[in-house]
Structure 1
């Protein structure tokens, strides 16, 4: 919810302490406020101050811009009347903050009374009244049919008394009705309530928090639309942090034996292996990928080595660093040593179908969808050791995006950035292949995310992904925005541009901040390719603010690939992660150089891929490409890989998948020939009887 003039808020316990600070902070945004408190003198004083602030935004109002209502929050009738008066005055309720609280000096187990004036009273005010007020706020929002936010403020000692926290977490499903209920758990702030706590205990907790942190936390819970049933913990030691953190959740998550989403079993294909196939090889060292590479037809050598797998590539990922690979930057030694390796296969990643296996490979089967992250994916077929095979659910283009791009973001943010929650994270080139993952993973971890991009389409994509502040460098000055809107700096930078952007990001880094370099695409091109750059004063800068600049190279984290790929697939399959694949089609190995040029042109949005080395097999698995209806995909005979000498019957599971495939909105298939001209008569009849056949006739 955007904090804007004209909204209305009700704050219990609003006459003093955190409640008072929140009332005034809301009033300074032009929000009408009702102060609910038992202290009349303090309440009227705060309401008067709030009225002056709200009046700066509104003139000639027919109602009071701020109200004070004296109320004992433990009296249900009085509390109900307070909510009714607020709704009658302001026409509804947008924000409710339950901040009323008292302290008891005597532990309940030492209290020799019935507790009516001590611990029992504290439970009624600090917990039961929170439940009652939350109930009334939900009802007010439902009756007005308005979206709303409710914040319950936990006890002064933060998370440790869990009653309010667990109650609030149980209300997360109300988000479906447009009502988000969250809990704010600050540690000790210097208020009248906190003055009754043993100073030694406060020192043990790290001392008093500044009031501004509580206000910042409350505003974060109001404005962050992704949070419902969330607990925001505030401490001097760790700042703002959603609890439990992703790391804590991992400790207690009940997991199946594997996170991988199983494919609908291996489809039994009789794949006819060709005598030869085409692939891209680097034949001369150059940062110009087109100059450095050529298409080469290679004989398929059978039988395979015992521990090898033959993979039929369906989709291959295009990466900015392809030009570094073609110039030999990823090989050790001098130019003479590297040149001795020529020619070598190109392409970092791909997905496809296992077409054949060696005699000693027992854990994989022909027909299994799989991914690879080894050199040689720009090919129709590739032979790799079985240990390099990453089984996947389906050979979809989204899986390719999760490989180099997704794994770089996931592992780099966890290991190099040491990302937790409650931080401000800046992602450069955020609409690209890896940037799109970085912004989403940072948001899912409970952080505020800033993203840079160039162009309206890219900015829209990032907003759709939930980015808090998108900076389109074609419309705004990045340096000015960061300086004006984030004067204290950003905690984490995920940097892939290099050059002047690196300098800008380093200058925008906060004290204790971490800048992770995962690439420098702006420096890859040029007449002489990627040249080393001098960073004058770098050591002095990071020393002065205890900052960290960390490099990240994915190949050095191979032991984490499967674990993080499983996590990404899990997030994607549950709908928590979106994957954008650039809609421009690049078909076959002969278009690879065009795809690399397109990526470096800055026009791509999301992951750029080269596909349909064989879309036919992808269709059998219901593969879907994220494309607009203005784009088409050309493919040949659907059954071109099958042994035509044998009779063919489409498996029932494949028929079901064809039907599901036909219902995917926004996907256009262009077939220049009729199905009867492409397929044997028997399979053509089967196709037309399926829903996919209906789809072909309707759209073809």
Structure 2
């Protein structure tokens, strides 16, 4: 193969918001597939908030990306060479190729996609890790009951939008929190019962009016001032699946102000709250297959809708990633690579 492999490497560990200097864009030889492996040409690259944690060397649930390594990320890719009988040239698969044009992976670690069932890019969003994150966190930690009130932050993102729509499918009242009038209007289009702009000066008052019977499940994606407004509205026995804290990912110091931990612990105690952080793969073995079956059916029925924010060109990934962390994306953030 005469082509070269464009890669985006982690050059330095960001302090605060990543800058262009934290990344290197290089060209290298196209890798060679070994026995049992496939050579993949990346079509789409997923950009997700968790990647900010991988750029840091702070302790986390996964090892940090080493300096000089390709940044991680889920990909939809085409098989251009196969050394495993389970995959054929031309197959489109879900893989974890990272921020590069070509990658090699064990064939057994890829999942073949059916382009006739749904657009293949959905394997990075509503039918991929974000969609399953929403499903697992809501159903296994939130455990919603018909008639309960579910509130979700970052509600136009791929996780939040899916949480709210699944809550409606399961008979709950869904309240979405997003940033800006356009996103708030989109939540109404998706069928949310109420939609609130967290940038509004009277955000806390709007939230109080939107949940007159309190909040039974709060799906946490953000933290920050949104969490401050939600906490007093939680009902007794409320459940809080903690998926992300995007408001804090670029923080370089602890928040100013008094120590709020005692007040939080008081709420947990007096209201018998369940606050549980999770990573979606802990539920994958038992629930991913059922999720794909359910979600594919809901999409076909029009009960689960999705939106994608696609930018062309791998070289744009660093800036698009920052835009996403600032909340300037609208839907699932995806880079079209080839």
TM-score over 0.5 for the pair:
yes
Q: Does 1:547 align with 2:273?
A: yes
Distance 1:493 1:274, change over 3 A: farther
Distance 1:503 1:437, change over 3 A: same
SS at match of 2:45: strand
Structure with greater Cα Rg: 1
More strand by share: 2
Q: Deviations over 1:498-543 (max 9, x none)?
A: 1232232222111111011110111012445999x96333232112
Distance 1:568 1:332, change over 3 A: closer
Q: Deviations over 1:652-671 (max 9, x none)?
A: xxxxxxxxxxxxxxxxxxxx
Aligned mate of 2:102, from 375, 378, 381 = 381
SS at match of 2:267: helix
CA distance in 1 between partners of 2:39 and 2:255 (Å) = 34
Contact conserved, 2:113 with 2:120, CA < 8 A, in 1? Answer: no
Q: How far off is 1:485 after superposition?
A: 4.3
Distance 1:331 1:496, change over 3 A: closer
CA distance in 2 between partners of 1:591 and 1:530 (Å) = 31
Q: Which residue of 2 aligns with 1:363?
A: 86
Distance 1:354 1:561, change over 3 A: farther
Alignment of 1:112-151 (within 5 A): none
Q: Does 1:285 align with 2:6?
A: no
Contact conserved, 2:236 with 2:273, CA < 8 A, in 1? Answer: yes
Q: Which residue of 1 aligns with 2:307?
A: 580
Q: How far off is 1:399 after superposition?
A: 2.9
CA distance in 1 between partners of 2:60 and 2:268 (Å) = 30
Q: How far off is 1:426 after superposition?
A: 0.3
Distance 1:508 1:387, change over 3 A: farther
Distance 1:604 1:301, change over 3 A: closer
Distance 1:549 1:292, change over 3 A: same
Q: Deviations over 1:215-239 (max 9, x none)?
A: xxxxxxxxxxxxxxxxxxxxxxxxx
Alignment of 1:135-534 (within 5 A): 273-287=1-15, 288-289=17-18, 290-302=20-32, 304-329=33-58, 341-358=66-83, 361-372=84-95, 374=96, 376-394=97-115, 396-402=120-126, 403-475=128-200, 477-527=202-252
Contact conserved, 2:196 with 2:207, CA < 8 A, in 1? Answer: no
- After TM superposition, the score normalised by the length of structure 1 is 0.44
Q: How far off is 1:592 after superposition?
A: 0.4
Distance 1:605 1:332, change over 3 A: closer
Q: Which has the higher contact order (CA 8 A, sep 6+)?
A: 2
SS at match of 1:586: strand
Distance 1:332 1:454, change over 3 A: closer
SS at match of 2:302: coil
CA distance in 1 between partners of 2:132 and 2:160 (Å) = 11
Uncovered stretches (5+) of structure 2, i.e. residues with no partner: none
Distance 1:428 1:567, change over 3 A: same
SS at match of 1:344: coil
Contact conserved, 1:370 with 1:392, CA < 8 A, in 2? Answer: yes
Q: What number of residue pairs does the alignment pair up? A: 329
CA distance in 2 between partners of 1:563 and 1:378 (Å) = 30
Distance 1:463 1:282, change over 3 A: same
Q: How far off is 1:300 after superposition?
A: 2.1
Distance 1:279 1:570, change over 3 A: farther
Please list every run of at least 4 consecutive aligned residues from structure 1 whose deviation after the TM superposition is greater than 6 angstroms.
Answer: none
CA distance in 1 between partners of 2:207 and 2:72 (Å) = 37
Contact conserved, 1:506 with 1:515, CA < 8 A, in 2? Answer: no
Contact conserved, 2:46 with 2:74, CA < 8 A, in 1? Answer: yes
Contact conserved, 2:198 with 2:226, CA < 8 A, in 1? Answer: no
Q: Does 1:571 align with 2:292?
A: no
Q: Deviations over 1:603-654 (max 9, x none)?
A: 221112111x21xxxxxxxxxxxxxxxxxxxxxxxxxxxxxxxxxxxxxxxx
Alignment of 1:97-116 (within 5 A): none
